[in-house]
Structure 1
Amino acid sequence: MAANDQPDSDRHGNRRRPGELEAEIITALVDAGRALTPAEVRERLDWSTPLSYSTVVTTLTRLFDKDAVTRQRDGRAYRYAAVADAPALVAGRMGRLLRAEADHASVLRRFVSALDEQDEQILRRLLREADE
């Protein structure tokens, strides 16, 4: 099997970024507006490289274990629905990571210092808007 045929490869033959497939699946569920089977999710994903059914099922199961999706039995399969959109899930993950460290100021200082200029400006704008 060629490298670009691997289920964990993106459309350019590179490994997906951590969480990228989960975000794509959540987006597909949100866009559908209804619960989907793994096969329906797989059909909605926009990958030019093959993505196996078992990869989709495994990812949906992991999302269920993280309380990011709900599922209900539909015959022999499950139908999955998103609890929230992808940005809300990432924000929740960031919040959980921050809560895991007692020294919030140090974590936030390091986080901000690691941002590129564009993201830093976005964060500054959002903080100003929150103050208003």
Structure 2
Amino acid sequence: MSPRSRMGELEQAVLEVLWGLDAPASGREVHERLSGRDLAYTTVMTVLDRLARKDVVVREREGRAFRYAPRLTRAAMTAELMHEALGGTDTDREQALVSFVGEASAEDLAALRRALDELA
């Protein structure tokens, strides 16, 4: 199982903040957006560092600090996780896909049909 598929709740919350921004953010900016969670600034910085080590976020130096951005869009990360799940299963890949589609909503099925039509 990849590090991205084993993210904790706080890591996911930090990533959600980064996805919600239009540009890379400093640790302070992420901390401010998580203000309702009563977290220490150092905790947020530790999480950002951990996400960078897992290659979930990229960081670029700006002066003495870093700015952080998600490596992938939300949709791209979801797709990557789905590929990992299908690749790591001992069961039949086709059966897993059929089971997934069998439980999909009408909206999800319509989106799948559109995507398949675009690929054809």
TM-score normalised to structure 2 length? 0.68
Identity across matched positions, percent: 35
Where do 1:84-103 residues align within 5 Å? 84-102=72-90, 103=92
Distance 1:49 1:88 in 2: 28
The aligned residue for residue 19 of structure 2 is 27
Distance 1:72 1:18 in 2: 22
- Out of 24, 28, 44, the position equivalent to 1:56 is 44
Structure 1: 5+ residue stretches without partners = 1-16
Distance 2:110 2:116 in 1: 10
| TM-fit CA distance, 1:54 | 4.4
| TM-fit CA distance, 1:108 | 0.9
Where do 1:1-132 residues align within 5 Å? 20-28=12-20, 31-32=22-23, 35-43=24-32, 45=33, 49-52=36-39, 53-72=41-60, 75=64, 77-102=65-90, 103-131=92-120
Distance 1:115 1:19 in 2: 27
Paired AA for residue 49 in structure 1: G
Give the conservation status (yes or no) of the 8 Å contact 1:42–1:51.
no
Give the conservation status (yes or no) of the 8 Å contact 1:71–1:81.
yes
| TM-fit CA distance, 1:126 | 1.2
Range moving further from structure 2, 102-111 or 55-64: 55-64
Superposed CA deviations along residues 60-86 of structure 1, whole A, max 9, x for unmatched, are 2342233121234553x5432322222
Distance 2:71 2:17 in 1: 12
DSSP 3-state at the match of 2:37: coil
Structure-2 change in CA distance of 1:99 and 1:72 (3 Å): same
TM-score normalised to structure 1 length? 0.63
Identify, as 1 or 2, the structure richer in helix: 2
- Of structures 1 and 2, the one with the larger relative CO (CA 8 A, separation 6+) is 2
Paired AA for residue 108 in structure 1: L
